């Protein structure tokens, strides 16, 4: 059974004691997309992922994954999900062969030839102990475990945060290759936005437990512009377009807008903006407070 | 076959960069009718780029009639795609070279020269920019 959406939520919320880790989350992630789930640490990314795979139970609202309820239809859903947790935990004392044996016995669906072929391509031996592998290699073994299930949805929690740039490239390549070969939908969380613009095609931004910017990345990038011009207030632009951020320095005003159609006003010079700058503008933007306080989000520091 | 590259800082969407590189290669004769483009998987893994980006680029080139996809085989440069006439390109290039040395002689730096050229070609492409 295939559904149009890999994940669909409606007014989804999760509260731990008195604290809401996630609230009012309503989104639809299309099947076949590679989705970036971004936001600062503590934004609710892991909570949302845990609700998706049924590891946590929501306080309110609805979550549907591949058309199924992760908690009530877990038996049907779990064989179709691949999950790699943060820091890709594995049994360090086991060899790769033993790790795969475990995978074979714990999973209803298991593609042994896919798993061994991947190990060969990585230049690893089945007899190697997992604990003796580099961080990048362990991440690849964890990914192999998830892919051998031949999942329809692959959920990766901060998969590349701990990897060096080369290992990060190789890991993302392996994920994208799987997406081409099997059409698996992918959701990966990250606090590094810069490299995701290329890798992902759908974006979910969380901050402080609330969703901010959600949608196809190509549309998001195409609709946002940076306008610079002589100092003025943003009111005339704001009548037509959504002003996400405004700043005034000296005689110049800079606006980051989500344009509704074309910006015709010729007193503004228009520039393209990349995804990272757009995301940061949304994370720093407080509705109703006008100019956001210039805090440097953790995302930049990382 | 051509090798794609992506410039993250260019501000040009990735799919459009791929489209432009194929157009460019066809115009200059680096890709000829019947030549095969890299498969989606090859592009995805060599650039670490989203598969839909590549599919979107190939679809756009197909719509423009520059390439044709053959089910299960691959994407090929269309038989009727026409490169720019090489003599014309060579002659344009040498007059441009003369213009550039004149501009340098007048004291313009590379940035000013690029800005002048960008301004001269702008009316043709302005409809694309919002």
The average pLDDT across B103-128 equals 82
Mean of the per-residue pLDDT values of chain A? 89
Question: How far is it, in rounded angstroms, from Cα A24 to Cα A211?
Answer: 8
A51/A12 Cα distance (integer angstroms): 9
pLDDT score for A235: 83
Task: Answer yes or no: do B53 and B90 share one domain.
Answer: no
Which residues on chain B are in Cβ contact (under 8 Å) with A183? none
Return the CATH number at B21. 1.10.10.10
What residue numbers bound the domain in which B72 lies?
A: 14-77
The CA distance from A225 to B64, in Å, is 27
Do B68 and B37 share a structural domain? yes
Closest Cα in chain B, distance from residue A196 (Å): 9
**B8 part of a folded domain:** no
> What pLDDT is attached to residue B123?
66
Decide if pLDDT at B16 tops 60.
yes
Q: Does domain A5-208 have CATH number 3.10.20.30?
A: no
Whether A172 and B48 lie within 8 Å, measured CB to CB? yes
Q: Is the ipTM of this complex over 0.95?
A: no
Q: Which of residues 28-87 of B touch A (CB under 8 A)?
A: 40-41, 44-45, 47-53, 56
Please tell me whether residues B73 and B96 are part of one structural domain: no
**From CA A52, how far away is CA A164, in angstroms rounded?**
28
CA-to-CA dists, residue A222 to A6, A191, A198, A278, A297, angstroms: 24, 22, 14, 11, 24
CB atoms within 10 A of CB B70: 9
Regarding whether B97 and B72 lie in a shared domain, the answer is no
The answer on B65 and B90 residing in a single domain is no
For residue B36, what is the DSSP state? B
| Per-residue confidence band for A175, with pLDDT thresholds at 50, 70 and 90 | very high
- pLDDT interval class at A44 (50, 70, 90): very high
| Residue A269, pLDDT above cutoff 80 | yes
Is A199 within 8 Å of chain B by CB?
yes
Say if residue B18 is in the same domain as residue B58.
yes
Local structure of residue A92 (DSSP, 8 states): T
Find the range with the poorest average confidence among A33-47, A244-258, A283-297. A283-297
Looking at residue A271, its pLDDT comes to 87
Residue A30: its pLDDT value, please? 96
Check if the beta carbon of residue A268 is closer than 8 Å to that of residue A259: no
**Assigned token pair, B93:** 């290039």
Assess whether B26 and B64 both reside in one domain.
Answer: yes
Structure tokens at A185: 């939908």
Q: What is the pLDDT of residue A285?
A: 52
- Do B68 and B95 lie in one domain? The reply is no
Looking at residues A139-150, what average pLDDT do you find? 95
Given a cut of 70, is residue B12 above it in pLDDT?
A: yes
Whether residue B32 lies inside any domain: the answer is: yes
Alpha-carbon distances, residue A82 vs A71, A79, B45, B68 (angstroms): 16, 8, 21, 36
Residue B126, pLDDT above cutoff 80: no
User: Higher-confidence residue: A154 or A253?
Assistant: A154
Query: What stretches of chain B adopt beta strand conformation (E)?
Result: 67-70, 74-77
- First and final C-alpha spacing in chain B: 34
Does one domain contain both B95 and B73? no
Q: What pLDDT does A174 receive?
A: 94
Overall domain count for chain B: 2
Rg (CA), chain A: 21
Does residue B56 share a domain with residue B20?
yes
Judge whether B45 lies within some domain.
yes
CA distance A188 to A139: 14
Q: Which of A155, A31, A138 is nearest to A81 (CA)?
A: A155
Confidence at residue A173, expressed as pLDDT on a 0 to 100 scale? 94
């Amino acid at each position: 059974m295939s559904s149009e959406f890999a994940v669909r939520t409606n007014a989804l919320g999760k509260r731990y004691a008195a604290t809401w880790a996630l609230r009012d989350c309503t989104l639809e992630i299309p099947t076949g997309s590679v989705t970036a789930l971004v936001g600062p640490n503590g934004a609710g990314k892991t909570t949302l992922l845990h609700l998706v795979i049924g590891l946590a139970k929501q306080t309110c609202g609805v979550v549907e994954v591949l058309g199924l309820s992760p908690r009530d239809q877990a038996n049907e859903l779990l064989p179709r999900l691949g999950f790699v947790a943060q820091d890709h935990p594995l049994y360090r004392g086991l060899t790769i062969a033993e790790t795969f044996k475990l995978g074979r016995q714990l999973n209803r669906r298991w593609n042994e030839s896919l798993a061994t072929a991947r190990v060969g391509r990585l230049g690893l031996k089945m007899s190697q102990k997992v604990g003796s592998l580099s961080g990048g290699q362990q991440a690849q073994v964890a990914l192999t475990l998830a892919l051998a299930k031949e999942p329809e949805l692959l959920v990766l929690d901060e998969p590349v945060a701990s990897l060096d740039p080369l290992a990060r490239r190789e890991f993302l390549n392996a994920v994208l290759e799987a997406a081409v070969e099997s059409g698996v939908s992918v959701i990966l969380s990250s606090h590094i936005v810069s490299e995701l613009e290329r890798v992902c095609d759908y974006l979910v931004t969380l901050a402080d437990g609330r969703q901010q910017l959600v949608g196809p990345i190509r549309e998001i990038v195409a609709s946002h512009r940076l306008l610079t011009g002589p100092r003025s207030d943003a009111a005339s632009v704001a009548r037509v377009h959504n002003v996400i951020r405004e700043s005034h320095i000296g005689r110049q005003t800079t606006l980051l807008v989500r344009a509704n159609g074309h910006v015709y006003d010729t007193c503004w010079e228009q520039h393209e903006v990349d995804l990272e700058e757009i995301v940061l503008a949304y994370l720093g933007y407080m509705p109703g407070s006008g100019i956001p306080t210039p805090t440097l989000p953790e995302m930049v520091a990382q | 076959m051509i090798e794609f590259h992506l410039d993250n800082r260019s501000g040009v969407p990735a799919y459009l960069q791929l489209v432009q590189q194929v157009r460019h290669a066809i115009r200059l004769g680096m890709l000829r009718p019947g030549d095969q483009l890299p498969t989606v998987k090859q592009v995805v893994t060599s650039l670490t780029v989203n598969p839909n980006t590549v599919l979107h680029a190939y679809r756009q080139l197909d719509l423009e009639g520059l390439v044709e996809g053959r089910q299960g085989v691959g994407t090929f440069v269309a038989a009727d795609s026409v490169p720019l006439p090489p003599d014309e390109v060579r002659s344009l290039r040498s007059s441009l070279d003369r213009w550039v040395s004149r501009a340098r002689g007048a004291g313009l730096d590379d940035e000013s020269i690029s800005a002048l050229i960008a301004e001269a070609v702008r009316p043709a492409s302005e409809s694309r920019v919002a």
